[in-house]
């Protein structure tokens, strides 16, 4: 019980809401770190997924990338991110964490987008081709809109994983919400520790819920009627 | 990472063989406890959801929230109550296996064709006999797929438990980060991946042994 009281006291203390170590800055850092990493993963994975999905090539690889991704432990990715960032002279904190988060985000985006494009009814694609649509038009106006909810599901998985794992960035001297947890552990300040944990958990759940809402909103009207 | 030092120092590896073996043992122990306890809980919840379909949505919703909470955050929330202990680590690890396992157990049993069930009933099987002798054996392939994903995920997560003093391969990763020592980083990271691959292979073999009919000619 006393732990909860301490938690509430810490969260309502104005000192913790101010300055460069305050909650609002840490939340923004967390969102910046996660957002940039997911964006970078999208830029890398999406063209590959769209190309492979549209042509139907390399399906085995595209699907199994997700399984390999799951076997990569986040802490191990952080270790590799650290080695890469230091050998590139980018220092501690932000970049080692980004290098860890991008490979974490790529597998679910790649696999889901590939499957999303592949699962579009081939009869529809054939009909579109028969009507004289170019391959690019088929991808843009048929496959992507119909596959969008499933593609977003992959991005959601990636984003939630990234938000969760961005916490570990504090281990390599990064900012973000992990700072509260790692400092709280090191200093045995349980109020700070629990507050950080609560904020990260909240951010992860908000990410999950927002993407789920986006998925539902992007179901094409014609398909929603069928369901 | 220190200039002039090789990425992997063979002499360090040789002088730490004993400790590496110890950490591998800890890693496996943490994983096995989590998957076994997780499976038992998931199995009971799945049977409940199969018998009372109304329960399925709240069960997956609750375990889904647990799955969404970052592992380090969940450990941190438990520390004031259960300390830097094995129990804290296992509560977290078990929570993450539940959603994966329940989804697969329920999907596996529900995926059994209705004709098969009807045939068993026609042969005089009771509901309990149908569950244990027909539905669960036929669902084993899907259930095993869930156990594989849960095991791989857990092996990865166990590295994080080093932060709350539970050893495992994460111990070497933390050591590497603290000392800027790439040999330890690589031993920890690669060790965890190798364990995941080996465990997955072992589970595939176990599944083949348990479901001989899936690859009979």
Q: Is the pLDDT of residue A222 over 60?
A: yes
Query: Closest partner residue to A76 among B74, B159, B182, by Cβ?
Result: B159
Task: Report how many Cβ contacts below 8 Å link chain A to chain B.
Answer: 132
- Does any CB of chain A come closer than 8 Å to the CB of residue B173? yes
Cα-flanking dihedrals φ and ψ of residue B125, to 5°?
A: -70, 140
Which residues neighbour A195 within 8 Å (Cβ) at sequence distance 6 or greater? Answer: A7, A10, A11, A16, A23, A180, A184
Q: Which residues of chain B have pLDDT under 70?
A: 1-4, 215-217
Residue A213 above 70 pLDDT? yes
* pLDDT score at A76: 80
Predicted pLDDT of residue B155: 92
Give the SS3 label for residue B108: helix
Residue numbers in B near A64 (CB within 8 A): none
- Test the A interface: residue of B7, B67, B73 with most A CBs within 10 Å: B73
What tens digit of pLDDT does each residue of A6-29 get?
888 888 888 878 877 888 888 898
Contacts of A201 in chain B (CB under 8 A): 68-70, 73-74, 77
The pLDDT value recorded for residue B1 is 57
Q: Chain B residue with minimal CA distance to A163? A: B70
> Beta-carbon neighbour count of residue A209 at 10 Å?
12
Residues of chain A in contact with residue B75, where contact means CB-CB under 8 angstroms, are: 197
What residues of chain B lie within 8 A of the CB of A1, using their CB?
A: none
Residue B173 and residue A78: Cβ atoms within 8 Å? yes
Contact assessment for residue B151 and residue B199, using Cβ atoms and an 8 Å cutoff: yes
Number of H helices, E strands in chain B: 10, 0
**A227 — pLDDT class (breaks 50, 70, 90):** very low
Residue A184 has, within 13 A of its CA and on its CB side, a CA count of 27
Nearest-CB residue to B182 (from A83, A160, A201): A83
Out of A21-35, A67-81, A125-139, A198-212, which region has the weakest mean confidence (pLDDT)?
A: A67-81
Chain A residues near residue B180 by CB distance under 8 angstroms: 86
Cα dihedral: A58, A212, B149, B161 (round 10): 120
Do residue A82 and residue B185 have CB atoms under 8 angstroms apart?
yes
Average pLDDT, chain A: 84
Position B9 scores a pLDDT of 82
pLDDT tens-place string over residues B154-187 = 998 898 898 888 888 999 988 888 888 888 888 8
B163: contact with A, CB 8 A cutoff: yes
Cβ contacts (< 8 Å) between B149 and chain A: which residues? 70
> What pLDDT is recorded for position A223?
67
| Cα atoms in the 13 Å half-sphere on the side-chain side of A196 | 32
pLDDT of residue A39: 95
Give me the mean pLDDT over the A82-90 stretch. Answer: 82
């Amino acid at each position: 019980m006393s732990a909860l009281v301490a938690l509430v006291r810490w969260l309502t203390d104005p000192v913790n809401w101010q300055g460069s170590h305050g909650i609002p800055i840490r939340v923004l850092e967390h969102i910046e770190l996660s957002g940039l990493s997911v964006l970078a993963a999208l830029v890398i994975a999406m063209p590959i997924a769209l190309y492979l999905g549209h042509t139907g090539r390399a399906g085995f690889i595209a699907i199994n990338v997700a399984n390999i991704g799951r076997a990569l432990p986040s802490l191990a990715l952080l270790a590799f991110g650290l080695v890469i960032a230091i050998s590139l002279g980018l220092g501690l904190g932000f970049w080692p964490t980004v290098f860890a988060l991008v490979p974490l985000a790529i597998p679910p985006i790649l696999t889901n987008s590939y499957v999303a494009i592949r699962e579009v009814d081939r009869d529809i694609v054939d009909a579109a081709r028969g009507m004289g649509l170019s391959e690019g038009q088929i991808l843009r106006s048929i496959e992507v809109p119909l596959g969008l909810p499933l593609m977003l599901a992959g991005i959601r998985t990636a984003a939630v994983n990234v938000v969760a794992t961005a916490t570990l960035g504090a281990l390599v001297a990064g900012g973000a919400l992990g700072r509260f947890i790692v400092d709280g552990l090191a200093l045995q300040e349980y109020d700070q520790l629990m507050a950080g944990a609560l904020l990260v958990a909240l951010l992860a759940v908000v990410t999950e819920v927002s993407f789920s809402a986006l998925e539902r909103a992007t179901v094409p009207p014609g398909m929603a009627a069928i369901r | 990472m220190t200039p002039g030092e090789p990425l992997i120092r063979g002499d360090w590896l040789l002088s730490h063989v004993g400790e590496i073996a110890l950490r591998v043992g800890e890693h496996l122990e943490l994983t096995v406890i989590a998957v076994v306890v997780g499976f038992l809980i998931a199995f009971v919840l799945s049977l409940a959801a199969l018998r009372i379909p109304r329960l399925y949505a709240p069960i997956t919703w609750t375990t889904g929230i647990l799955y969404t909470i970052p592992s380090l955050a969940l450990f941190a929330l438990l520390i004031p109550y259960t300390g830097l202990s094995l129990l804290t680590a296992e509560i977290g690890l078990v929570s993450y296996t539940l959603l994966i396992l329940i989804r697969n157990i329920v999907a596996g049993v529900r995926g059994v064709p209705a004709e098969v069930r009807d045939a068993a009933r026609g042969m005089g099987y009771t509901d309990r006999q149908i569950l244990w002798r027909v539905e669960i054996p036929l669902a084993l392939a899907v259930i095993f797929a869930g156990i594989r994903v849960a095991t791989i995920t857990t092996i990865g997560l166990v590295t994080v438990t080093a932060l709350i003093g539970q050893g495992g391969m994460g111990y070497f990763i933390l050591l590497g980060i603290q000392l800027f020592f790439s040999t330890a980083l690589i031993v920890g990271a690669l060790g965890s991946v190798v364990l995941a691959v080996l465990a997955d292979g072992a589970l595939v073999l176990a599944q083949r042994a348990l479901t001989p009919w899936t690859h009979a000619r």
